[in-house]
Structure formats: structure tokens, C-alpha cells
């Protein structure tokens, strides 16, 4: 984690709080591509319509990726 100073990280730890970290969608997909994967599918999902946010946006994504062997 390079986005929080060490003292803030320690404050979270000392107070038993969680530290949440997320990658951007670009980081996730571009990272797969840079690792040699080919994106062959994409899927969005939500909480099954049980949350207010579900009416406005899909909050989960999944990619299907394959890695070709190059000889």
C-alpha cells in the first residue's frame, strides 16, 4: 500500500479498522492484457436486485481470459 502514510496505516491497525484497497477497472483489465491474456468474455452483476444501488449500476464484473501459448 503506497497510498497511505505508514502512521495512518498503523492508526487503522491500532483501532481494529479495516483497510480497503481497490484497483481501477483499467488496472484490472490492462493488467490481464499486459500479462499476455486475451479477454474473451465480460460479465456484470449486482446483488440480485436486493440493494438500492442495483437499480442504477452493476457493482461487480468478471472477465473471461485465456492465455495463448506462443512457441
Give the tens place of pLDDT for each residue, 21-64. Answer: 888 999 999 999 999 999 999 999 999 999 999 999 999 999 99
Q: Which residues pair with 61 in a beta bridge?
A: 44
How far is 37 from 45, CA to CA, in rounded Å?
22
How far is 7 from 61, CA to CA, in rounded Å?
33
Q: Which residues pair with 64 in a beta bridge?
A: 41
How far is 5 from 15, CA to CA, in rounded Å?
16
How confident is the model at residue 1, as a pLDDT? 61
Query: What pTM value is reported for the model?
Result: 0.65
Domain boundary assignment for the chain: 24-71
| Pairing mode of beta strands 37-45, 60-67 | antiparallel
Amino acid at each position: 500500500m503506497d497510498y497511505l502514510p505508514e502512521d495512518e496505516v498503523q492508526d487503522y491497525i491500532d483501532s481494529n479498522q479495516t483497510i480497503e484497497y481497490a484497483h481501477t477497472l483499467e488496472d484490472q483489465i490492462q493488467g490481464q492484457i499486459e500479462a499476455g491474456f486475451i479477454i474473451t468474455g465480460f460479465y456484470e452483476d449486482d446483488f440480485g436486485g436486493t440493494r438500492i444501488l442495483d437499480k442504477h449500476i452493476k457493482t461487480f464484473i468478471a472477465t473471461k481470459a485465456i492465455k495463448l501459448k506462443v512457441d
